Amino acid sequence: MSGDAPDAGAVAGYLKDAQARICAQLQALESSAQFGADNWKHESGGGITRILEGGEVFEKGGVNFSHVGGDELPAAASAERAHLAGKPFEATGLSLVMHPRNPYVPCCHMNVRFFLADVKDNENEPGWWFGGGYDLTPCYGFDEDCAHWHNAAQNACAPFGEKHYAKFKAWCDRYFHLPHRGETRGVGGLFFDDYRDGGFARAFAFMQSVCDSFLGAYLPIVERRRGMNYGERERAFQLHRRSRYVEFNLLYDRGTLFGLQSGGRVESILMSLPPCARWDYDRRDAPGCAEAKLRERYLRPRDWARE
């Protein structure tokens, strides 16, 4: 591999190491539950899914590495890339979702990925790109947590351009939005796609910066909230809010669609779903109460890094 040519193997190696590092630090929060490992193979490729269930801190969590390919790029990845439709492809990524037990600890999602498509017959069109980001989904919002999360995201972007954070923060707010509910999924973070700025090496470095900043963004929030007391009211609201998470992932999430369309392992693709959720018919919380405050203050775009 010469010059600044894209190197899917290098990306895959980094992501495997990142999976191990992230799981080790999340595991350190648990006293008994352990991450299990599912090394799966499929005709399209394979991966390692690390799942933790029944923990004291995390009711369920998954950290999934995958490296797949095929003869035809799925529609979820080629819908806005007409020149790549039907091309052979290779994709590698790391996807993480953690569902805490305590309703005061927010759910989190992180994903970074790399696509490489065969465009030998059209060298003028780029056939590789990075994508990813992370977002935070609280049931009970805290300004301190939102500011910390977004400052970590801003710091991860800063070495790569002063406009990166604002651009990818706004993209995250647009992407993680439930139009049928008229609300965002959570308090946002970063979302980027089709990223090739500065060539492969620099774009790869940006993806690594985002991934490497995740634990520093999330773990201090977990430590602040994990010991807060809660009861049946908070638990019921947590299950209610988890239903919104399910709705987004099954109706709108492009990563879920890509995984299913590319023939990946279904259990790994759907690991993002919570262990339990509830759909309350036409739930209405009293204005100003702790539960209503989530929608009133937090489920809409805000400039948390400045507040």
Token pair, residue 150, equals 């977004």
Query: Distance between CA atoms of 95 and 62, rounded to whole angstroms?
Result: 8
Examine the pLDDT at 80 and tell me if it is beyond 90.
no
Confidence band (pLDDT; 50, 70, 90) for 121? very low
Three-class DSSP category at 198 = coil
Confidence band (pLDDT; 50, 70, 90) for 211? very high
Query: Residue 68 pairs with which residues in a beta bridge?
Result: 45, 91
Catalytic residues: 109
What is the arithmetic mean of pLDDT over 92-109?
97
Examine the pLDDT at 259 and tell me if it is beyond 90.
no
Query: Distance between CA atoms of 220 and 149, rounded to whole angstroms?
Result: 9
Query: Distance between CA atoms of 126 and 129, rounded to whole angstroms?
Result: 8
Structural domains of the chain, ranges and CATH numbers in brackets = 8-298 (3.40.1500.10)
CA dihedral 177, 182, 186, 191 (to 10 degrees): 20
**Per-chain mean pLDDT for the chain:** 90
Tell me which residue of 135, 139, 98, 99 sits closest to 230, measured CA to CA: 139
Query: Distance between CA atoms of 89 and 50, rounded to whole angstroms?
Result: 25
Query: Distance between CA atoms of 39 and 113, rounded to whole angstroms?
Result: 19
**pLDDT of 174-188, one tens digit each?**
999 999 999 999 999
Token pair 């894209």 in the structure block, residue: 6
